[in-house]
């Protein structure tokens, strides 16, 4: 238990355009989606799926805000950039698959909380395929923005999102923690729900898969009651 922790690498790319982009409009997730390169082997290097979210609404300053796109700027330089970017910036974000290596895991430490329970920590290293995929997607995103007319385009900080795995589902205790309904192998009436069941991350948001999996598991529990 705890092995095969996995998450998405998030590639953000940005471009400044001469025309105004109205980047404050919309929702704070890509209202346009491209899966043109979703096949895991669709490129020369970097195995894995990915999905672009295009043109999310941008606020001046939050987790996905305009100011965060240029972490190297501060003071007068940041003010000058913000005056331009609030009207002329566009962005794209890609969710990139990483491989569920067994050494990437959630494990207990010797430290304890105030109730005497051991604290957990995540051990994760970026695999070579994941790094190569993120690099390929970054180059693609910058090229797309320039082809669309951006006078300047750049990449943001590589981030991670959507923690998954650690209690993966499968067929046997040798290769998984639970069955496909989240029932823990060898333990009666103990079930796991949520993203911990995912054996891999894929290249898209896990939200709808999580909902479908939760509904399926709930129906199995009710039918067995």
Which residues are marked as active site? Answer: 162
Distance between CA 73 and CA 44 in Å, rounded? 35
Q: Are 55 and 31 in contact (CB under 8 A)?
A: yes
**Could you tell me which of 41, 5, 2 has the C-alpha nearest to residue 201?**
5
């Amino acid at each position: 238990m705890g092995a095969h922790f996995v998450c998405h690498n998030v590639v953000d790319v940005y471009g400044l355009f001469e025309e105004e982009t109205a980047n404050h409009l919309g929702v704070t997730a890509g209202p346009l989606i491209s899966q043109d390169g979703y096949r895991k082997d669709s490129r020369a290097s970097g195995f894995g799926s990915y999905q672009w979210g295009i043109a999310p609404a941008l606020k001046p300053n939050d987790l996905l805000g305009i100011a965060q796109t240029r972490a190297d700027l501060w003071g007068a330089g940041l003010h000058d950039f913000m005056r331009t970017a609030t009207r002329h910036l566009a962005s794209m974000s890609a969710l990139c698959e990483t491989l569920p290596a067994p050494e990437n895991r959630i494990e207990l430490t010797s430290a304890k909380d105030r109730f005497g329970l051991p604290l957990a920590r995540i051990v994760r290293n970026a695999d070579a395929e994941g790094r190569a995929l993120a690099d390929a997607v970054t180059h693609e995103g910058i090229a797309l923005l320039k082809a669309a007319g951006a006078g300047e385009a750049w990449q943001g900080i590589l981030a991670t999102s959507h923690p998954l795995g650690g209690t993966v589902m499968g067929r046997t205790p040798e290769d998984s923690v639970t069955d496909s309904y989240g029932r823990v192998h060898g333990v009666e009436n103990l079930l796991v729900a949520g993203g911990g069941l995912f054996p891999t991350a894929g290249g898209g948001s896990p939200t709808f898969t999580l909902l479908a999996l939760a509904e399926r598991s709930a129906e199995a529990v009710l039918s067995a009651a």
